[in-house]
Chains A and B, each alone.
Chain A
Amino acid sequence: MVNVQDGSVIKTVHVNFFYGNFKALTDVTMDFRQNEVTALIGPSGCGKSTLLRLLNRMNDLIAGSRVEGEVLFEGENIYGSTIDPVEIRRKIGMVFQKPNPFPKSIFSNITYGPRLTGVMSKADLEILVEQSLRQAVLWDEVKDILSRSAMMLSGGQQQRLCIARALAMKPEVLLMDEPTSALDPISTAKIEELIQDLKKTYTIIIVTHNMQQAARVSDMTGFFYIGKLIEYSATDKIFTRPDVKQTEDYITGRFG
Chain B
Amino acid sequence: MQLQENARNLSMRWRYIKEGIFFSVVRLSVLVIVLALGGLLFYIVYNSYQAISWEFLTEPPTDAMTKGGIMPAVLGTIYLTLGAILIALPLGIMSAIYLSEYAKQGAMVRVIRLGVNCLAGVPSIVFGLFGLGLFVVYFKFGASILSGSLTLGFLILPTIIGASEEALKAVPQAFREASLALGVSKWQTTYRTVLPNALPGILTGSILGIGRAAGETAPIMFTAAAFFTVKLPSSIFDEVMALPFHIYVLATAGTHIEETRPLQFGTVLVLVALVLSVDLVAIVIRSAVRKKKRW
Q: Which residues of A contact B184 (CB under 8 A)?
A: 86, 112-113, 116-117
Q: Which residues of B contact A63 (CB under 8 A)?
A: 104-105
Q: Which residues of B contact A101 (CB under 8 A)?
A: 178
Instruction: Decide if A96 touches B183 in the complex (CB within 8 Å).
Output: no
Q: Which residues of B contact A113 (CB under 8 A)?
A: 179, 182-184
Q: B260 within 8 Å of A by Cβ?
A: no
Q: A58 within 8 Å of B by Cβ?
A: yes
Q: Which residue of B172, B182, B197 contacts A112 across the interface (Cβ within 8 Å)?
A: B182
Q: A94 within 8 Å of B by Cβ?
A: yes
Q: A154 within 8 Å of B by Cβ?
A: no
Please tell me the size bucket of the interface on A.
20 to 34
| Interface SS majority for chain B | helix
Who on chain B is nearest to A91 by CB?
A: B183
Who on chain B is nearest to A100 by CB?
A: B174
Q: A48 within 8 Å of B by Cβ?
A: no
Instruction: Decide if A103 touches B104 in the complex (CB within 8 Å).
Output: no
Q: B277 within 8 Å of A by Cβ?
A: no
Instruction: Decide if A166 touches B181 in the complex (CB within 8 Å).
Output: yes
Q: Which residue of B183, B186, B295 contacts A90 across the interface (Cβ within 8 Å)?
A: B183
Q: Which residue of B183, B192, B193 contacts A87 across the interface (Cβ within 8 Å)?
A: B183
Q: B188 within 8 Å of A by Cβ?
A: yes
Chain A nearest CB, measured from B213 CB (Å): 32
Q: A1 within 8 Å of B by Cβ?
A: no
Residues 91-122 of A at the B interface (beta carbon under 8 Å) = 91, 93-94, 96, 98, 100-103, 112-113, 116-117
Q: A2 within 8 Å of B by Cβ?
A: no
Cα distance, A51 to B142, chains bound together (Å)? 62
Q: B259 within 8 Å of A by Cβ?
A: no
Q: Which residue of B174, B175, B182, B293 contacts A166 across the interface (Cβ within 8 Å)?
A: B182
Instruction: Decide if B192 touches A116 in the complex (CB within 8 Å).
Output: yes
Instruction: Decide if B178 touches A169 in the complex (CB within 8 Å).
Output: no
Q: Which residues of B contact A102 (CB under 8 A)?
A: 175, 178-179, 193
Beyond contacts A58-B181, A117-B182, A165-B182: 19 other A-B pairs, Cβ-Cβ < 8 A, are: A58-B177, A58-B180, A63-B104, A63-B105, A86-B184, A86-B186, A88-B183, A90-B182, A91-B183, A94-B181, A98-B174, A102-B175, A103-B293, A113-B179, A113-B184, A117-B184, A162-B178, A166-B182, A169-B183
A residues near B, CB below 8 A? 56, 58, 61, 63, 86-91, 93-94, 96, 98, 100-103, 112-113, 116-117, 149, 151, 162, 165-166, 169
What would be 8 A-B contacts, judged by CB atoms less than 8 Å apart? A58-B180, A86-B180, A100-B174, A112-B182, A112-B184, A113-B182, A116-B184, A116-B185
